[in-house]
């Protein structure tokens, strides 16, 4: 089955700096890669996703890049703010509504004011 590795497990940055979280996946059939933000005790919230026919996607301060050949994808947050502090999870699936997500172990991001 799919295996998703995520690094780092914790990341601390100063407000205004950029943060980068990296994930690798094992199943070459995976073609959908979402990123979720989870605050303590809350549900995961989708912040951005990318499909395998695209190499990069951006939404304001958040961007995701995908290297299908190397089977890795990354989340980039620019101009970080304290409210960006949370746990971020990457995931991978084969796409479509019936395919399960396999999650990475998560990254605790702390943005220091």
Partner 1 sequence: GAVVSQHPSRVICKSGTSVKIECRSLDFQATTMFWYRQFPKQSLMLMATSNEGSKATYEQGVEKDKFLINHASLTLSTLTVTSAHPEDSSFYICSAPNGGGSDTQYFGPGTRLTVL
Rounded CA separation 33/6 (Å): 13
Site residues (CB under 8 A) for partner 1? 32, 34, 36, 41-46, 49, 51, 89, 93, 95-106
Please, what is the minimum distance in Å from the beta carbon of residue 61 to partner 1? 19
Name the residue nearer to partner 1 (CB basis): 36 or 84: 36
Tell which residue, 6, 15, 30, has the closest CA to residue 88.
6
Give the dihedral of Cα atoms 102, 36, 44, 83; nearest 10 deg.
150
**Least distance to partner 1 from the beta carbon of 96, Å?**
6
- Pick 61 or 100: Cβ nearer partner 1: 100
């Amino acid at each position: 089955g799919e295996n998703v590795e995520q690094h780092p497990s914790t990341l601390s940055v100063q407000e205004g700096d950029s943060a980068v979280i990296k994930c690798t996946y094992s199943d070459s059939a995976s073609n959908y890669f979402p990123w979720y933000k989870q605050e303590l005790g809350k549900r995961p919230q989708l912040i951005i996703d990318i499909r395998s026919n695209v190499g990069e996607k951006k939404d304001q301060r958040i961007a995701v890049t995908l290297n299908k050949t190397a089977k890795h994808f990354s989340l980039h947050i620019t101009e970080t703010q304290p409210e960006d502090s949370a746990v971020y999870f990457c995931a991978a699936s084969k796409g479509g509504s019936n395919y399960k997500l396999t999650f990475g172990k998560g990254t605790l991001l702390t943005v220091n004011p």
